[in-house]
Structure 1
Amino acid sequence: MKYEYCKTDFIYETSRGDSSVQSGSVFDSTLQNTWKAALERGVFRYALNIQHSKILEGKFSFVAQLNTDRALKRRAPEEITSLTQPFDHDRFNFTKIDETEILFELRRKCDTSTNRHCVIINESPLEFGHCLLLPSRLNCLPQIATQHSLQLAIEIMLLSSNPAFRVGFNSLCGYASVNHLHYHGYYLNYSMLLEHISVQHLSGPCFILVNYPAKGFVFQLPSDKCPETLARDVFKLTNFLVCNNVAHNIYITRGTDFSSSHTNSKICNTVRVYVWARKSSSGAKQNDAFNPAICELIGHLSVKTEAAYWSLTEEQVVEMLSDVCEGPFGQVTDSVKELFED
């Protein structure tokens, strides 16, 4: 199955309103219907079963969900030792998946290249619609964000009219589990703080997230609403981090414009892209509650055990996120500022 699109399909403003997580655009319907069909066929390692969900008490509104199946039944992550580890054809990669795992191919109508972009299931889902975007799947690219793949990830965000849809990326040594270029996408039907939190200008198109435990860098869709411009700016930063051997995570979400005075507005009038420089996960101690990858950095905590779920507090999460990001953020901020002053 192919899903073809062009710029006229992009949706630049959405509203939370009273919409259900299972609603939205033609893209949303395509993703949700093919995902549910795969679930009914038993393609996943387990049927999604979030036993409990809650918002942790405190000012950050972290969402905790108990998902023991993901902790127990997911494929063992690949051992990652370097941010620039080469692609290995002998290890598991997305050319080895069963065809039943492919939901659809994604193609721009004006694209004359032979690149084949795929959207496939995440066989160990953590939320409804959990899928993987595989840019140029058969090119066997390592898990390093490219400008082209960032643009593709931003474009699928613009194809969805459902503000519950999220896109994320874990670098190597940033809890990526497979060294084959991929982005996560899924629906999380909670209003998250990072959709409207205030940010501070750093330089050029780059802003910083400071009033949050995980300090990081932020970009938004520019005034010309061009995904290519946004992708170019984000890539400038991620390429700098790769060149300096700094692990990182990327989050793409609907949200309010940085200049908006209505921080709690239900209107989402831009796309925000967050980039966190973070401590390497290579050799990191495993946490009983959760591992701080992209979902946890945004405040969505997929908790491994029932004991950890019931005892988890905002203070514990704040401590973990601060530990992961504060040092690397401080080390690179001056250089990032200079990077965007050019």
Structure 2
Amino acid sequence: MSSSEIYTTSSSTARRYFHTLPWKNRPDIQFSELDSLFRTEWERALRKDVFLHGVESEPRRMPGRRGFVAVLCRSRASHKRKPQSFTNILQKSEPKTFNFTKVGLDEILFYIEDDAHEKSVRTSVIINNSPYEYAHCLLVPNAAECHIQSINIDGIRMGIRVLLGSRHPGFRLMYNSLCAGASVNHLHLHCYYTEYWLPSEAFRMHQIPLKVHEKEFSDMFELEFEDSCVRGFGFVITEVNFDCSLPCIIHTIVQYFNDNNIAHNIVMIRGLPPSPEYIASVDASPDENARSGGASNVDGNPNIPTMKDTGVSPYSGLEAYIPTNLWNCPLVGRIYVFPRVPLYGEKSYTKFHVNVTELFGHLYFGDVSVYESMNENDVVDALNGVSFSEQHFTKVKNDIVKLLSQL
């Protein structure tokens, strides 16, 4: 496939995987068509030498009970394009600054098209030319429109559909608002793969009673602060809510943030169901494996970062971290939405900052001395430092529930 071709998420042949096999079954998991496309086209671009550097990340499991993964990426700190500086989450873009219409054709891998709604959305899948992880890409909806970095309902729906197109438990999709880690003021989401689990997959969540369109909506939660270290909202993606009610709810929350100049991050990942009763079975059978994008063996691929700790498997520690009654459960799609203390000014790639990846336990370091010196308590303090206070978050939560009940 070339950059002129299209993957359509709304076609009758596009598979959606609402559940994936858990990490303990990782060797048995087949790639979906979309997984294979991401990986094949990204590897092709890597061979063309269009990146600023290769994937040189060094991940290690940080000592402690939380299971954080620290990732050292020296080249990203020294080679990455100079980030833009922001002081408002709805800041206007400057025509002379960089945007994604200025990337070379070799940097565009393919397009994802969704024409299931009134407005057709064509998303450009572009390499992140300073990759942080394997197959690190940017998803830019309707790139030619140069929409500022404020996610709209089309971007939210596209992100959900892309997550559901993957069968890999380590596929991560994320969004930074301005003043929350974004470095380019042009609407985009990030995505990449990891071959190891992250603690956010098992965040405990407490249901928020809610009625939307006069119907009970049981898939919205408040994250357990003891687990997440930053107060936020959680959602579970289901066959009922993925295309209409869930994008609408998240977009309403984002609009509230915009109206109140609240910086925010959004995370879309695979994770545990809130309870064993939440799902009954995996939507994978031998015949579906045969129709997938192919085998998923990654052993020996030099472009996939592996744990720095010698002899530690990607799945080590899972038994201690996941409740016994959920150990065999397939994974669901989870979405986290975090209001947070803003990051103003120019972003540094050598200092430790809480951007979106840190919120789900994937910690970026550009400086080896910081990478080696920070411990789990330091990370928790940094996460707590960007969290809203309990009182402030409760007000935000109550305002949002009120807004949603009026939909």
TM bracket, shorter-chain basis: over 0.9
How many residue pairs were aligned?
341
Q: 2:114 corresponds to which residue?
A: 108
1:47 to 50, 54, 73: 54
Q: 1:247 corresponds to which residue?
A: 263
Deviation, structure 1 residue 222: 3.8
Q: 1:235 corresponds to which residue?
A: 251
Q: Secondary structure at the match of 1:34?
A: helix
Distance in 1, matches of 2:351 and 2:196, equals 21
In the TM superposition, 1:150-165 aligns within 5 A as: 150-165=156-171
Q: 1:224 corresponds to which residue?
A: 240
2:7 to 3, 19, 25: 3
Task: Look up the equivalent residue of 1:280 and give its one-letter code.
Answer: P
Q: Does 2:229 correspond to 1:213?
A: yes
Q: Does 2:128 correspond to 1:64?
A: no
- The unaligned stretches of length 5 or more in structure 1 are none
- Residues 68 and 329 from structure 1, CA distance in 2 versus in 1: closer, same or farther, beyond 3 angstroms? farther
Deviating more after overlay: 275-284 vs 66-75? 275-284
Deviation, structure 1 residue 221: 1.4
Q: Highest Rg: 1 or 2?
A: 2
Q: 1:128 corresponds to which residue?
A: 134
- The unaligned stretches of length 5 or more in structure 2 are 211-218, 278-321
Deviating more after overlay: 202-211 vs 304-313? 202-211
Deviating more after overlay: 133-142 vs 11-20? 11-20
Q: Secondary structure at the match of 1:134?
A: strand
- Residues 256 and 82 from structure 1, CA distance in 2 versus in 1: closer, same or farther, beyond 3 angstroms? same
Structure 1 contact 81–282 (Cα < 8 Å) conserved:
yes
- Residues 232 and 268 from structure 1, CA distance in 2 versus in 1: closer, same or farther, beyond 3 angstroms? farther
Distance in 1, matches of 2:28 and 2:352, equals 24
2:35 to 4, 28, 43: 28
Distance in 1, matches of 2:186 and 2:111, equals 17
Runs of 4+ in 1 over 6 A off after TM superposition: none
Deviation, structure 1 residue 17: 3.7
Task: Look up the equivalent residue of 1:128 and give its one-letter code.
Answer: Y
- Residues 266 and 82 from structure 1, CA distance in 2 versus in 1: closer, same or farther, beyond 3 angstroms? farther
Task: Look up the equivalent residue of 2:263 and give its one-letter code.
Answer: A
Distance in 1, matches of 2:26 and 2:155, equals 29
Distance in 1, matches of 2:19 and 2:230, equals 27
Q: TM-score, normalised by structure 1?
A: 0.92
Deviation, structure 1 residue 338: 2.7
Q: Does 2:201 correspond to 1:137?
A: no
User: Could you tell me the percent identity over the aligned residues?
Assistant: 30
Q: 2:318 corresponds to which residue?
A: none
Task: Look up the equivalent residue of 1:201 and give its one-letter code.
Answer: Q
Q: Secondary structure at the match of 1:123?
A: coil
* Offset from partner CA, 1:159-216 (integer Å, 9 cap, x none): 0111110000000111100000000000022222222221112332431112221111
* Offset from partner CA, 1:264-317 (integer Å, 9 cap, x none): 435444211101111111148958542211001111011111111111201000
Structure 1 contact 84–144 (Cα < 8 Å) conserved:
yes
Q: Secondary structure at the match of 1:203?
A: coil
Task: Look up the equivalent residue of 1:152 and give its one-letter code.
Answer: M
Identify the structure with bigger relative contact order (alpha carbons < 8 Å, sequence gap 6+): 2
Distance in 1, matches of 2:100 and 2:145, equals 11
Q: 1:340 corresponds to which residue?
A: 404
Deviation, structure 1 residue 238: 1.2
Q: Secondary structure at the match of 2:183?
A: coil
Q: TM-score, normalised by structure 2?
A: 0.78
Distance in 2, matches of 1:147 and 1:21, equals 35
Structure 1 contact 203–340 (Cα < 8 Å) conserved:
no
Distance in 2, matches of 1:126 and 1:252, equals 17
Structure 1 contact 248–275 (Cα < 8 Å) conserved:
yes
Q: 1:189 corresponds to which residue?
A: 195
